[in-house]
A and B are shown apart, each in its own frame.
Chain A
Amino acid sequence: MPDVDRAGTGRIFREESGRVLATLIRVFGDIDLAEDAVQDAFAAALRTWPRDGLPPNPGGWITTTARNAAVDRLRRAARERELLGEVAALSPAPGDVGPPEEGEPVPDDRLRLIFTCCHPALSAEAQVALTLRLLCDMSTAEVADAFLVAEATMAQRLVRAKRKIKAARIPYRVPEEHQLPDRLPPVLAVVYLVYNAGLAEPPGAAGRGLCAEAVRLARMLADLMPDEPEVTGLLALLLLTESRRPSRTGPDGSLVLLADQDRSRWDRRMIEEGQDLVRRCLRGGRPGPYQLQAAVSAVHADAPTAAQTDWPQIAALYDHLLAVAPTPVVALNRAVAVGEVQGPAAALALVDELDLDAYCPYHATRADLLRRLGRDEEAAAAYERAAALAPTDAERDFLRRRGRTAR
């Protein structure tokens, strides 16, 4: 048996716990019990692995140990209620919840879990919080950080959501096809939010790997629902964005604009896969917001240099996007594309009509347009407004630097 230390045990647990948790929730139908049982298994691993060495199949070991821990907990609770008979019938047969055999088509429990977490009976906030907690293995404290609320507040929100799942019997399953038009959008929105939360993480080992987690979730959804073009579109969008993520930051952690990125560092394999998916889903003739954003991203990926970007095509895609998703943020992005085609004055006229005063990119976009029009004082003021609203330190520094050169 190979040796393993405390840190190694923790790492293996992080890789496996999401799947084990989802499986236990399916078997026992109780999120709290499943969470407690996975914690029990982690404690047991910390006790035994460093002493006895790593078991040959750690994933299977964790599943079995956690399942036994859950049964123990149920037995203890049942003894208190003198209902042992019922529980014996409830306990799964040994081997029932082991890791899936190779090649066996097993519906992913995590997929069921994400539909439970994103059930429309839960608030949008609770949907994201539960997904981060249960599917992305984030602690309550980390979820609270992502939402900028106190840990106690987040703990309460999670408890409330879990109580509702249990009391109201929110089902643990992938909805039927006729329900998907209602049930899918919140799931896609959550995966997209998880990805964006990942973009705001510090680069390197300090991050939680949320971007990769979101891509994994999107891939899982796309595998299960190959006929849903928006699912494919979301996966394409995430892959194309992910292909550029390492080039988004300089060696000092500062932000690098798309136009200034070193395109040789873009991940060609991800780009090819993303572009392939974009073509495939757009052929379906039902372009939704994710497909169109992915198409924009694919056009950027096509350009060998920033100057060779096909801006007229991007502007046309944004016209389309604004028609299916008429939000001020889409209008802002469309204005940027218009600016590249028709010049900054045309774009500024569009931007000035928008009501996005609290949105950092709005001021950053205005600032860039004003700078290009030679209105340097106004540009500097707009950069300052943008910097004050920046969500991360890297972005704030970036905007301040640009503001200084505009003066």
Chain B
Amino acid sequence: MTRYMLSVHSTAGEGRAPMSEEEMRQSHQRLGALEREMESAGAWVFSGRLHDPDTATVVRVSGGEVLTTDGPFAESKEHLGGFYVVEAEDLDAALAWAAKVTAAIRVPIEVRPFAGFADKPQPAPGS
């Protein structure tokens, strides 16, 4: 099994017309159902939705000092809106989950394998 990150990217000021409350509710419902499906298939590892990029803060080391600044890190129009981490047999299986996510929320999904998880269970926290 390999772990994949299915990341949901959105572009500021582009694409989707703002959803009505009803559409929003339906989209949430579809996502909820999809997440339950992922869980019962043993594919769901973790998922999360992020606040807008202007809520981000960047921490870095500069000249030996820790510097904290207003984010986001990348000044781009595209930003990460949320993600799923799924466990799948191969890329086709991961792409099938991505197809379901994009069908539910209608934004492009980037599918990328995690490095170092292939064929190995993730060490338990604290071990």
Contacts of B91 in A (CB 8 A): 119, 121, 168-171
Contacts of B95 in A (CB 8 A): 121
CB of B113 closer than 8 Å to a CB of A: yes
CB of A148 closer than 8 Å to a CB of B: no
CB of A167 closer than 8 Å to a CB of B: yes
Q: Report how far A168 CA is from B5 CA in the complex, Å.
A: 11
Interface residue ranges of B1-16 to A (CB < 8 Å) = 2, 4
Q: Are A171 and B113 in contact (CB under 8 A)?
A: no
Contact with A along B101-127 (1 / 0, CB 8 A): 000000000011101001000000000
Q: Are A175 and B115 in contact (CB under 8 A)?
A: no
CB of B37 closer than 8 Å to a CB of A: no
Contacts of A171 in B (CB 8 A): 89-92
- Chain A: how many interface residues by the 8 Å CB criterion? 9
Q: Are A169 and B115 in contact (CB under 8 A)?
A: no
Contact with B along A156-193 (1 / 0, CB 8 A): 00000000000111110001000100000000000000
Contacts of A167 in B (CB 8 A): 113, 115, 118
Shortest CB-to-CB span from A202 to chain B, Å, is: 39
Q: Report how far A179 CA is from B96 CA in the complex, Å.
A: 10
Contacts of A179 in B (CB 8 A): 92
Contacts of B118 in A (CB 8 A): 167, 169
- Considering the complex, give the chain B residue whose CB is closest to the CB of A170: B91
Q: Is the interface of B mostly helix, strand, loop or mixed?
A: mixed
Give which listed residue, B4, B90, B115, contacts A170 with CB less than 8 A: B90
- Considering the complex, give the chain B residue whose CB is closest to the CB of A86: B119
With A169-B2, A169-B118 in contact, is A175–B113 under 8 Å at CB? no
Shortest CB-to-CB span from B57 to chain A, Å, is: 31
Q: Are A168 and B113 in contact (CB under 8 A)?
A: yes
Contacts of A175 in B (CB 8 A): 92
Contacts of A121 in B (CB 8 A): 91, 95
Q: Which of A168, A169, A175, A179 has the most CB of B within 10 A?
A: A169
Interface residue ranges of A123-171 to B (CB < 8 Å) = 167-171
Shortest CB-to-CB span from B90 to chain A, Å, is: 4
Contacts of B90 in A (CB 8 A): 169-171
Contacts of A168 in B (CB 8 A): 2, 4, 91, 111-113
Interface residue ranges of A217-260 to B (CB < 8 Å) = none
Interface residue ranges of A65-117 to B (CB < 8 Å) = none
- Considering the complex, give the chain A residue whose CB is closest to the CB of B112: A168
- Considering the complex, give the chain B residue whose CB is closest to the CB of A166: B118
Contacts of B112 in A (CB 8 A): 168
Q: Report how far A359 CA is from B24 CA in the complex, Å.
A: 50
Interface residue ranges of B69-118 to A (CB < 8 Å) = 89-92, 95, 111-113, 115, 118
Shortest CB-to-CB span from B4 to chain A, Å, is: 8
Q: Report how far A170 CA is from B118 CA in the complex, Å.
A: 13
Q: Report how far A83 CA is from B73 CA in the complex, Å.
A: 40
Contacts of A119 in B (CB 8 A): 91
Q: Report how far A169 CA is from B111 CA in the complex, Å.
A: 12
Contacts of A169 in B (CB 8 A): 2, 89-91, 113, 118
Contacts of B115 in A (CB 8 A): 167
Q: Report how far A167 CA is from B118 CA in the complex, Å.
A: 8
Q: Report how far A171 CA is from B95 CA in the complex, Å.
A: 11
- Considering the complex, give the chain B residue whose CB is closest to the CB of A119: B91
- Considering the complex, give the chain B residue whose CB is closest to the CB of A179: B92
Contacts of B4 in A (CB 8 A): 168
Q: Report how far A170 CA is from B113 CA in the complex, Å.
A: 11
Q: Report how far A178 CA is from B91 CA in the complex, Å.
A: 16
Shortest CB-to-CB span from A32 to chain B, Å, is: 15
- Considering the complex, give the chain A residue whose CB is closest to the CB of B95: A121
Shortest CB-to-CB span from B88 to chain A, Å, is: 8
Shortest CB-to-CB span from B2 to chain A, Å, is: 5
Shortest CB-to-CB span from B14 to chain A, Å, is: 24
Contacts of A170 in B (CB 8 A): 90-92
Contacts of B113 in A (CB 8 A): 167-169
Shortest CB-to-CB span from B41 to chain A, Å, is: 17
Q: Report how far A170 CA is from B88 CA in the complex, Å.
A: 11
Q: Report how far A327 CA is from B73 CA in the complex, Å.
A: 43
Q: Report how far A254 CA is from B90 CA in the complex, Å.
A: 50
Shortest CB-to-CB span from B91 to chain A, Å, is: 5
18 A-B pairs within 8 Å (CB atoms) are namely A119-B91, A121-B91, A121-B95, A167-B113, A167-B115, A168-B2, A168-B111, A168-B112, A168-B113, A169-B89, A169-B90, A169-B113, A169-B118, A170-B90, A170-B92, A171-B89, A171-B91, A175-B92
Residues of B bordering A, CB below 8 Å: 2, 4, 89-92, 95, 111-113, 115, 118
Q: Which 5 A-B pairs give the minimum distances between C-beta atoms?
A: A171-B90, A169-B90, A168-B113, A168-B91, A170-B91
Given contacts A119-B91, A168-B2, A169-B91, 9 further A-B contacts (CB under 8 A): A121-B91, A167-B113, A167-B118, A168-B4, A168-B111, A169-B2, A170-B90, A171-B91, A179-B92
